[in-house]
Chains A and B, each alone.
Chain A
Amino acid sequence: MKQLSFLVIFLFLLCGSSADIQALEKCQICHSKKEIHRAEETGRKVPLYIDESIIARSVHNDKDCTDCHNDINEIPHKVVKKVNCRRCHYTGNPVGAPDGKMYDQYEHSVHGMAVLNGNEKAPVCQDCHGDHDVYSHKTIESKFYWQNIPKTCGTCHMDIYAVYKESTHGRAVADGIKDAPVCSDCHGEHNIKKHNSDESRVSDARISQTCTECHGTQGVVNKYNIKTDRAATFEHSFHGVGLQMGSKTVANCASCHDYHDIRGEDDPKSSVHPDNIPKTCGKEGCHPGASAEFSSGQQIHINPKSEESGIIYYISKAFLVLTVSVLLGLLAFIAMDLFRRAKNARAKR
């Protein structure tokens, strides 16, 4: 009985799929015509042409139109509803559609929350991954091929994209340097949080950690002749200590280097170019009373253990010698005193 029922299901599936291949051909009767379009009430023409080759190259090339557009059950059909990817991409689905944490992460992300709250402009899966053009992220034409990510995010976040494109990171990405960060390297992918939420990778509390993921690793940074001790020296600085103590007002990496408009110190437009440092340090809420001498032409990231720091290095060394010798001397004195006391006590007995 059981075997029979399996057979029935198998036959049903077989028939179903063969029927759907036909359905695709049916769809193409209309949708392969380049001039086909739908007129909206506003008068806008919405093209309805679908390039079959796009689907053929996408990861869904073995799927049929109605696998996703499951609300179509007659021809001609009405305006289709937005496709719900979760129909296949759920844990334990039988068709083998990839499923992971990202769906839950998305639901709790700033984008997912906005969608839940009824923001129609907020992105759903298709806005970043494509609708018919869901290519593998390894394909250069994919919307989320690493080099294309800034542009994909930029379709909504246009002003930020404009700034990022000109920044040192943006230019490096355009030049094909894969170690350079795109949006998602700092902000996260499916789990993007509001930038001022504590969970966000770019929040005041966490941004220095996020920058350190690259700027603290020799492997990434040495290649491009960037100093690796930037993260360690920041942590040692009063700003870094304050951050570890939970202060929300101390400067973090982005306070001085900017968020998206990060540029090298040689770039005259950079916030850390020597000419611009007084303005950067003297920001409202930071050191508005800073004198020009305070902030101009100085080393900012000080590493007392490196000879490059000059006098600071020698002061640090001198104090180390002084501290060790004084303490050894005092401890020796105490030891001798105790020893002599013990001897005296024994002699009395």
Chain B
Amino acid sequence: MNDKKKNLDNREVFIKGLSDNIVKSAVDIVKIDPTKKQITEITDTVTERLQYESSSLLNEAVTKLHPDSLSEMLPEEKVERNFERFGKNFRYQHMLMFVSVIILIITGMPLKFPEFGLSKFIVIDLLGGLHNSTFIHRIGAVGLIIVGIWHVIYSLGSRVGRRDFFLMVPNLKDAADFMGTMRYYIGKSKSGPKFDRFSFIEKFDYWAVYWGMVIMIGSGAIMWYKELFPKYFYDIGREMHSDEGLLATLSIVIWHFYNVHFNPEVFPMSWTWWHGQLTESEMKHHHPLEYEAIIKKESQDIIDQSKSESKGNN
């Protein structure tokens, strides 16, 4: 135990020294006189990176020595860093959306299945009759419409929103990834495909919601203002609203709940919707391409920053 601790301490001291050395060399190369703040910032980044690399090299070394007992023999030290997956704006969109959708499902499903006792209990006993339940359904509808408009503005107007929207567009890699996942599932390959910021599964989820929003809001609006249209508009709207409502509900309960609740990896719930964060290992596991890009960009930024600052100083 003491030996382990000693080794860890030694390594930390060594890493500290190494990062100081690296920064000093960098300063020598660019031949400028950096501020103290700059030095600490850059040193911290380098230290963090070295700590991470040293621990992953340690893992590798352990695996090579003793392939079976990786998880047990790993030292407890872990330098985990969090990555922001969803910004505040996006998380608020999701919160308003799920509150609205829960309201809509609770007040909508009983009208699709009126013969069930539970439906009658919800509408008659819990909500006090059809008049109240349809009113509450409309409150949920307003919530969903606000989310829809908000998201379109976010996707067009904000930098992150625009970037994410374009990353959501399906491409050939998604088809390849799907095949790769299938091969992984049936055991033809040892590991699944490497995903970027949005995997084909997440793209499917996103566009499924997009389709659902268009159908539900469109048909719902026709039913809300039915008197303005010929009756067959209402009949078509009602049929679509009813069918798509069931499809959406089942998709959410089966597919979305599996991914974010019942999946053994996240059970009972992934908290990303609340804090927006993914841990480093989650990032490396689920979004390796995005992770690599982030790390690469960060290193590049450090170099660029010091370069531009040296220019400014000259």
Q: Complex Cα distance A291/B226, Å?
A: 9
Q: Complex Cα distance A184/B133, Å?
A: 37
> Is A294's CB under 8 angstroms from B236's CB?
no
- Residue in A242, A250, A327, A340 whose CB lies within 8 Å of B250: A327
Task: Report the interface size for chain B: residues with CB under 8 A from the other chain.
Answer: 43
Query: Size band of the A side of the interface?
Result: 35 or more
> Is A247's CB under 8 angstroms from B228's CB?
no
- Residue in B187, B232, B238, B255 whose CB lies within 8 Å of A299: B232
Interface assignment of B77: CB less than 8 Å from any CB of chain A: no
Minimal beta-carbon separation of A293 from chain B (angstroms): 4
> Is A302's CB under 8 angstroms from B227's CB?
no
> What is the predominant secondary structure among interface residues of chain B facing chain A?
helix
Tell me which residues across on chain A come within 8 A of B111, comparing CB atoms. 238, 241, 245
Contact pattern, A 314-338, Cβ under 8 Å of B = 1, otherwise 0: 0110011011001100110010111
Q: Complex Cα distance A238/B232, Å?
A: 14
> Is A238's CB under 8 angstroms from B185's CB?
no
A294-B114 in contact given A246-B129, A315-B240, A326-B251 (Cβ < 8 Å): no
Q: Complex Cα distance A326/B205, Å?
A: 12
- Residue in B124, B187, B230, B236 whose CB lies within 8 Å of A246: B124
Minimal beta-carbon separation of A250 from chain B (angstroms): 7
Contact pattern, B 114-146, Cβ under 8 Å of A = 1, otherwise 0: 110001100110000111010000000000000
B178 (CB) vs chain A CBs: closest residue: A333
> Is A322's CB under 8 angstroms from B247's CB?
yes
Interface assignment of B258: CB less than 8 Å from any CB of chain A: yes
Q: Complex Cα distance A309/B231, Å?
A: 13
> Is A247's CB under 8 angstroms from B226's CB?
no
Minimal beta-carbon separation of B166 from chain A (angstroms): 26
> Is B226's CB under 8 angstroms from A245's CB?
no
> Is A245's CB under 8 angstroms from B124's CB?
yes
- Residue in B185, B239, B264 whose CB lies within 8 Å of A315: B239
Interface assignment of A298: CB less than 8 Å from any CB of chain B: yes
- Residue in A245, A319, A336, A338 whose CB lies within 8 Å of B110: A245
Minimal beta-carbon separation of A323 from chain B (angstroms): 5
> Is B235's CB under 8 angstroms from A302's CB?
yes
A250-B130 in contact given A241-B111, A245-B120, A323-B250 (Cβ < 8 Å): yes
Contact pattern, A 46-61, Cβ under 8 Å of B = 1, otherwise 0: 0000000000000000
> Is B254's CB under 8 angstroms from A348's CB?
no
> Is A311's CB under 8 angstroms from B236's CB?
yes
The 5 closest A-B pairs by CB, nearest first: A319-B243, A298-B231, A336-B185, A247-B130, A293-B230
